[in-house]
DNA sequence: AATGTTTTGTTCAAAATATCACATAATTCC
DNA sequence: GGAATTATGTGATATTTTGAACAAAACATT
């Protein structure tokens, strides 16, 4: 198909497929059908075939998908068949935990800069990185070839952090602060908010319980 | 309307409305129109009115929504007009950061238990909680009145953690580990995976760049 | 009190998304 | 080598979700 517009939902599912495929590789499974993958991901088999069709034909009829090949193909499609340099703004509790977390590097997102505006934090070393003043983001972004920013400031500072990142020419932001930010067109923003997921779970529990009573 | 089935997307947006409304209260704004709220949330005004209609009529025609009233109404609808006791399983880097994070308590999710199966961690104190062996989850869940579990183990341990939680009678799980888990019907699961969001940003950057070239 | 203004709640059409079903292609088995 | 089997890719169909439009309701003004 190699189509033009790809649904956001498809992208999110592709990320799930990557997750599951990597586990399959761990278990030395070489081939999987759309049905098998669907079961593991909790979606419909056609869904998977459709999602993949946006990017090309990766399967073999009568056989299924070669796990390693499919994984490579999806990664290429998502643009994660390479590494990305990432700057983190806001070295608080969460920021520190993320800086120390190995998972980013493992998945090709390399934290190359840590920024904060608190003079007490500047100069401190966290996970092998020296904390630098946020004002110096622009200058550093060029040297370090940073393309993605992660915001882990308190909510009221998120917009300012975003401004620094945009000014530094960053083209994508993952915002962990619980507030919406405004950025110019052409800058991709994703929001990560644990609380939203807890809300969702709380709602579903309440729902299930009221269903049980009915 | 007070309708039966509520789209998942609606729930996620309600969580965003809560976020924005709380910021409005901070700024002493008392009334907001669906249009104003829509702008702040980056959605369509009809969308908002529709989302709210699932739960009742909260606005005043010709006026808009009283911010505090609306917030209260949404919280009630989501089942977050109360506190929820939460258990965390997996006291690693991320687990520690979450245990120390104030935001959960602030939003009514109280971390009352920390569990891990590593003997070196058991007995340790983190954020005022003693780390307890995961095997004792069931016994503790009753005493502590735990209703929600958060999994922050490595991916290969996530399923076991989920099993302990289910066995303990927990009805909702937020899984931070990058792997899918299987749970019986009636248990609500939400997945939080930062990497997914980074994938999404990476994809959109690649996309924007290829658009720029075209 | 009547009219005008504003903004909600809701209907209806359209767009987007998911699922079904089947023709197509690769493989296996006789 | 041909028939049977399996599982993909995709066109058609169904469902879900969104957005536009408008009638109903509250308030403001005269």
Q: Residue A47, CB, less than 7 Å from strand C?
A: yes
The angle at the Cα of A100, spanning A97 to A101, to the nearest 5 degrees, equals: 85
| pLDDT for the residue numbered A9 | 93
The stretch B131-160 carries a mean pLDDT of: 96
Q: pLDDT, tens digit, for every residue of A84-102?
A: 999 999 999 889 989 998 8
pLDDT band at A67 (very low <50, low <70, confident <90, very high): very high
Q: Residue B17, CB, less than 7 Å from strand C?
A: no
Q: pLDDT, tens digit, for every residue of A152-185?
A: 999 999 999 999 999 999 999 999 999 999 999 8
Distance from residue B185's CA to nucleotide C11's C1', rounded to whole Å: 36
Alpha helices (runs of H) in A42-176, residue ranges in sequence order:
45-53, 67-78, 93-100, 103-106, 137-144, 155-167
**Tokens 């990185």 appear where?**
A129
Alpha-carbon distance values, A197 to A200, B85, B174 (Å): 5, 15, 7
Q: How many Å apart are CA B156 and CA B181, to the nearest integer?
A: 10
Helix B45-53, helix B8-26: angle, nearest 10: 110
Whose CA is closest to A169, among A190, A183, A155, A154?
Answer: A183
Alpha-carbon distance values, A78 to A6, A101, A173 (Å): 11, 22, 16
pLDDT band at B18 (very low <50, low <70, confident <90, very high): very high
Chain A: give the shortest CA distance to residue B97, in Å.
6
Q: pLDDT, tens digit, for every residue of A3-34?
A: 478 999 999 999 999 999 999 999 999 999 99
The stretch B106-128 carries a mean pLDDT of: 96
Structure tokens of B199? 């994938």
**With 70 as the cut, is the pLDDT of residue A213 above it?**
no
The number of C-alpha atoms within 13 Å of A39 and in the hemisphere containing its C-beta is 5
Alpha helices (runs of H) in B27-146, residue ranges in sequence order:
34-41, 45-53, 67-78, 93-100, 103-106, 137-144
Cβ contact (<8 Å) for A174 and B194? yes
Pick from B26, B71, B178 the residue to mutate for testing the A interface (most A CBs within 10 Å). B178
pLDDT band at A1 (very low <50, low <70, confident <90, very high): very low
Q: pLDDT, tens digit, for every residue of B28-82?
A: 999 999 999 999 999 999 999 999 999 999 999 999 999 999 999 999 999 999 9
| pLDDT for the residue numbered B153 | 96
Show residues of chain A in contact with B148, CB under 8 Å.
198, 201-202, 205
| pLDDT for the residue numbered B2 | 47
Give the burial class of B110: count Cβ atoms within 10 A of its Cβ; 0-12 exposed, 13-18 middle, 19 or more buried: middle
Chain A: give the shortest CA distance to residue B61, in Å.
27
Q: Structure pTM?
A: 0.91
């Amino acid at each position: 198909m190699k189509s033009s517009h790809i649904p956001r939902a498809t992208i999110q599912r592709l990320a799930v497929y990557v997750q599951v495929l990597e586990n399959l590789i761990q278990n030395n499974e070489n081939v999987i059908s759309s049905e098998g993958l669907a079961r593991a991901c909790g979606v419909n088999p056609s869904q998977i075939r459709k999602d993949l069709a946006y990017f090309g034909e990766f399967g073999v009829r009568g056989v299924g998908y070669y796990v390693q090949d499919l994984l490579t193909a999806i990664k290429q499609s998502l643009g994660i068949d390479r590494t990305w340099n990432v700057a983190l703004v806001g070295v608080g509790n969460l920021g520190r935990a993320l800086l120390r977390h190995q998972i980013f590097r493992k998945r090709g997102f390399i934290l190359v800069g840590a920024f904060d505006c608190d003079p007490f934090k500047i100069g401190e070393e966290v996970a092998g990185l020296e904390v630098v003043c946020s004002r110096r983001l622009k200058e550093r972004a060029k040297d370090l070839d940073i393309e993605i920013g992660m915001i882990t400031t308190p909510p009221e500072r998120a917009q300012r952090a975003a401004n620094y990142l945009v000014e530094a020419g960053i083209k994508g932001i993952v915002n962990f602060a619980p507030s919406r930010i405004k950025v110019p067109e052409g800058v991709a923003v994703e929001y990560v908010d644990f609380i939203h997921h807890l809300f969702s779970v709380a709602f579903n529990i309440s729902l299930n319980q009221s269903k049980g009573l009915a």
